[in-house]
Amino acid sequence: MSEQSDEGANAEPEGPSTSAVLRQRASTTSGIGLRGGPHGPAADVPEVAPGTWAPLALSTFRWLWIAQLVSNTGTWMQTVGAQWMLVNQPNAATLTAMAQAASLLPVLFVSLPAGVLADVFDRRRYLVGVFGAAVVVSGSLAALTAAGLVTPLVLLMLTFGLGLTSALAGPAWQAIQPELVPPRLIPAAAGLGSMNINIARAIGPAVAGVLLLVVSPAVLFAINAISTVAVVGALVAWRRPPEPERDAEPLVSALRSGSRYVVNAPGVRRVLLRVGLFVVPGSALWALLAVVASERLHLGSGGYGMLLGALGLGAVLGALGLSRVRDRMSRGVLLVGSSLLYALGLAGAALVASTVLLVGLLVLAGVGWLVVLSTFSTTLQLTLPAWVRARGMSTYLIVLIGGQGVGAVAWGLVAEKVGIGHALVIATGLLLLGVVSQAWWPLLARTGRQDPRVDTIWPEPDVDSAIDLDLRTGPVVVEIRHVVTGDVPRFVEAAQRVGVSRKRTGATSWALYRDAADAAVFVEVFVVPTWGEHLRQHHDRLTGYDRELDVRMRAFTDQPSVIRHLVPVED
């Protein structure tokens, strides 16, 4: 099956903006939320224009956003303190890169299980527990530093612990966003989420750099611990509507079904590819900027904070103008232009000796970073259906954050071998190659523009009362018989896209057969691991886009399809 097997072959050309499509979609959803999802914004949400600040009119989103801003500011202060403790150590480039990697690499190990937990359990309670653990770890780092017991190894270990809590929280935090705002505000909410991080990046490092002139890093670590308490408080205050009663999906089964979804979603896979091509070379700037400030520009902690603040300021400016730019450019043009802006800052860190000029280039790089990552995040949040949203976002975070972590280690080692300037030039070249690859591997046109709402397509399965079925019965073989009266090649093409849909929603295999005795008869055969998983296909997993694919296929038939469910014979 080709990369564009169910999205690209007959997809419409990419239009000028996603937001126009969203406005049209919003007119059919009344601004209340996705039908069939377990949670949506409250029905009494005020009508607001989908501008940059519109989601902040929703009280729950607003308080969680403010709490996140406080916490992110504390996190950036902690990051500056940790890296500045290492810049005067032997092998400073490697150590500072490893400090960043220690905060990022845990996502490779726990993001998928975290996505499963966030899809299976109550996300609010789960997040309260994870952020509570983060308070304990950050508080321990502050106490040990104040006692003079923190060596570089201890610092890296506790930084890894904080990265672990962040990785555990990430998928659930991403997945609750569509619960807080209606669909038409998701792009603005994603932009505000990125702006949140970057306002904190603009404020936190600058404040940390000044504080380090008069206090020890232990104070910064204590501030980070206190700031995380703000998130716990906001989550406790959130009155999340109770989930409807349903059988919890077993954890191992949920992990497998989430993986099947990603493997059989060409548009999601393409987003992940583009994210990797951007963040791996792009991570060099974040990994080596502290050493650039110290060794190349001979700046103190305040100067380093200023450079990070320039990146943050650029990102805030990018978020403020993103909605207007998105209306005027296609996603492809937006991604290429923004990547080039980031490349300017990356190259400037390698080649520019003027601090003032570098600050200007870093502001442009911040704009590029925000626009690229906000575009990817928005696209995925608009694509992933509710049942697999956290698991899908966990794969995104693995590539996004894990790619930065792996890149940080790699660029630290490269800088030790060839020098900081050469390492940054190499990273710039790789980033530009990634930009050029947009010509061959663009985002698929329909990704983020499909209907992700739950839609019941199939009738309830007929079960003979003599057969005793439970949710664990399996594997289940489903046969669907079609009588084709239209264009057979076009039916087969449409059926193959439906086959990808079957696998995306739970089937482990799918095939299309033709009756040797009657050339008009075609039979779909697919296998689902258990009866419970097949019932989830019926009730929870099929979306409006899956219905669209099914309708296209059935347009070539003239009578109802005949469905059979085959289950194992009891011993």
User: What is residue 113's predicted lDDT score, i.e. its pLDDT?
Assistant: 84
Structure tokens at 289: 């900027």
Q: How far apart are CA 425 and CA 441, in angstroms?
A: 24
Is residue 368 within 8 Å of residue 341, measured between CB atoms?
yes
Nearest by Cα to 380 from 467, 275, 508, 290: 275
Task: Determine whether 340 is exposed, middle or buried from the number of CB atoms within 10 Å of its CB (0-12, 13-18, 19+).
Answer: middle
Task: Determine whether 46 is exposed, middle or buried from the number of CB atoms within 10 Å of its CB (0-12, 13-18, 19+).
Answer: exposed
User: What is residue 175's predicted lDDT score, i.e. its pLDDT?
Assistant: 79
Structure tokens at 70: 């406080």
Which segments of the chain have a pLDDT < 70?
1-51, 87-88, 90, 92-93, 198, 201-202, 242-249, 301, 457, 571
Distance between alpha carbon 82 and the CA centroid of its chain, in Å? 26
- Give backbone dihedrals phi and psi of 563, rounded to 5 degrees, phi first: -115, 135
User: What is residue 31's predicted lDDT score, i.e. its pLDDT?
Assistant: 29
Q: How far apart are CA 18 and CA 379, in angstroms?
A: 9
**Segment 249-283, tens digit of pLDDT:** 677 777 888 888 888 989 999 999 999 999 999 99
C-alpha triplet 377, 195, 102: angle, nearest 5°: 70
What is the assigned CATH class of domain 40-439? mainly alpha
- Coil/strand/helix, residue 390: helix
Fold of 476-566: Alpha-Beta Plaits (3.30.70)
Q: How far apart are CA 539 and CA 343, in angstroms?
A: 46
Is residue 138 within 8 Å of residue 221, measured between CB atoms?
yes
Name the strand (E) or helix (H) holding 528: strand 521-528
Q: Domain locations in the chain?
A: 40-439, 476-566
Alpha-helical regions (H) of 244-402: 251-263, 266-291, 301-328, 331-351, 355-383, 389-397
For residue 300, give the DSSP letter.
-
User: What is residue 246's predicted lDDT score, i.e. its pLDDT?
Assistant: 55
Q: How far apart are CA 420 and CA 252, in angstroms?
A: 44
Rounded to the nearest 10 degrees, how much is the dihedral formed by the CA atoms of 64, 65, 66, 72?
Answer: 110
Please name the residue that has the structure tokens 């009266």: 485
- Coil/strand/helix, residue 449: coil
Q: What is the pTM of this model?
A: 0.73
**Segment 370-389, tens digit of pLDDT:** 889 888 988 888 888 877 88
Same fold for the domain at 40-439 and the one at 476-566?
no
User: What is residue 17's predicted lDDT score, i.e. its pLDDT?
Assistant: 39
Q: How far apart are CA 423 and CA 339, in angstroms?
A: 18
User: What is residue 45's predicted lDDT score, i.e. its pLDDT?
Assistant: 40
